[in-house]
Amino acid sequence: MDILFWHPSFDVREWSELLARALPQARVRVWQPGDEGHADYALVWQPPVEMLQGRKLKGVFVLGAGVDAILERLRAHPGMLREDVPLFRLEDTGMAQQMQEYAVSQVLRWFRRFDDYQALQAQAQWQPLEEYPRETFTVGILGAGVLGAKVAASLRAWDFPVRCWSRSLKNYPGVESFAGNEQLPAFLSGCRVLINLLPSTPDTVGIINTALLSQLPQGAYVLNVARGAHVVVADLLAALDCGKLSRATLDVFSPEPLAPDSPLWAHPRVAITPHVGAVTRPPQAVEWIATAIGQLEQGAQPGGLVDRQRGY
């Protein structure tokens, strides 16, 4: 079995060793320009167009949860990947726990007003602030898939009211579910905190804009850990500056890295992390891919199949 590998920054040695252990029958090679040799599978992140073009592969595995980058490239170069080659993405493989850590720590920081206390400390002010009632500190999650569902469960464990919004209705314990554009206003009107965990698709690009933000309660908080393309930055800044939003925490940007002259860097009520919400963990990812390849070889259908039309 021949596996092609391409990633702009991953440690190829580590991945090759893990793959050799998990799939001893596989020969793994890093794709080089001009390589048109036989391959059964490809493991990729933002691959060059020529790497996959025309190849009759049994499967392509994207080495992350989001497939927006490869699908955008595919829209620009329709011949880049044959229609009959199944495209898979990673489901969880250790990312859900990281997202839970990020979301819970951020929500608790806002709920306990630690940023406000930090500002008071800078002025040497001893001033207890009014507490936020937990029962109205509702957290709403845009996107209720693999990561959104786990983040919702972790916030429920802290007894916050939690709601989610997705395309189809969900039945997650203790979580209020809203679905479709018609239920978006009702969902938003109760979100003291809005967490974005949607995939970036033609339907969701720019969704966090003035029209959406204006439907949140006054003084809401926004956490974007999905994709930068979801946020209209000028609209977010306007909502912060007029007091509609209390604070925003952003992990993802368009483009990345965030430009040094972006007004987001210095904004006193914006917190920034460099796309570290949940990183791919090689051992778990390889285990998951090896299992999926085993299933494909047996004629079974593994999870993580991407619907190219839907965009996720």
- Sites of contact with ligand OXD (CB under 6 A): 64-66, 280
Closest separation in Å from C-beta 280 to ligand OXD: 6
Active-site residue, 310 included:
no
199 binds ligand NDP (CB under 6 A): yes
257 cis-preceded (ω within 30 degrees of 0)? yes
Q: Say which of 227, 230, 269, 310 is annotated catalytic.
A: 227
**Residue (28 or 96) nearer to ligand NDP, CB:** 96
Angstrom distance (rounded) from CA 132 to CA 149 = 25
Residue type, 129: L
8 A C-beta contact, residue 3 and residue 27: yes
- Decide whether 23 or 107 has the Cβ nearer to ligand NDP: 107
We find the least distance from the C-beta atom of residue 70 to ligand NDP, in angstroms, to be 12
Residue nearest to ligand NDP (CB): 145
Footprint of ligand NDP on 6-25 (CB under 6 A): none
Number of residues in the chain:
312
Q: 């025309």: which residue's tokens?
A: 54
Measured CA to CA, the distance from residue 147 to residue 92 in angstroms comes to 7
CB closer to ligand NDP, 19 vs 223: 223
The span of 10-18, 78-86, 117-125, 272-280 binding ligand NDP (CB under 6 A) equals 272-280
Q: Are 131 and 117 in contact (CB under 8 A)?
A: no
If the CB atoms of residues 20 and 303 are measured against ligand NDP, the closer one turns out to be 303
For residue 77, the tally of other CB atoms under 10 A from its CB is 13
Of 80, 83, 25, 21, the closest CA to residue 48 belongs to 80
**Cβ at position 91, least distance to ligand OXD in Å:** 10
Please choose which of ligand OXD, ligand NDP, none residue 152 contacts, taking the beta carbon within 5 to 8 angstroms, the exact cut-off set by kind. Answer: none
> What is the C-alpha separation between 219 and 19, in angstroms, rounded?
48
The binder of 18, among ligand NDP, ligand OXD, none, by C-beta within 5 to 8 A per type, is none
| Per CB under 6 A, 277 contacts ligand NDP | yes
Q: Is 29 noted as a catalytic residue in this protein?
A: no
> In this structure, are residues 166 and 143 in contact, taking their beta carbons and an 8 Å threshold?
yes
Are 107 and 160 in contact, with CB atoms under 8 Å apart? Answer: yes
Q: How far is the CB of 308 from ligand NDP (least distance, A)?
A: 13
Residue of 55, 113, 275, 308 marked catalytic: 275
Please tell me the distance from the alpha carbon of residue 201 to that of residue 215, in angstroms, as a whole number. 22
Residue number with CB closer to ligand OXD (64 or 282)? 64
Tell me the sheet residues that pair with 220.
Answer: 245
Residue facing ligand OXD at closest CB distance: 64
Q: How far is the CB of 184 from ligand NDP (least distance, A)?
A: 8
Q: Treating both helix axes as pointing N-terminal to C-terminal, what angle do 12-22 and 282-297 enclose, rounded to 10 degrees?
A: 40
User: Which among 249, 293, 290, 292 is positioned nearest to 273, based on CA atoms?
Assistant: 249
Tokens of 91: 């489901």
At closest approach, how far in Å is the CB of 311 from ligand NDP? 7
Q: Which residues are catalytic?
A: 227, 275
Rule CB under 6 A: which residues touch ligand NDP? 65-66, 95, 143-148, 166-168, 197-201, 203-204, 225-227, 251-252, 275, 277-278, 312
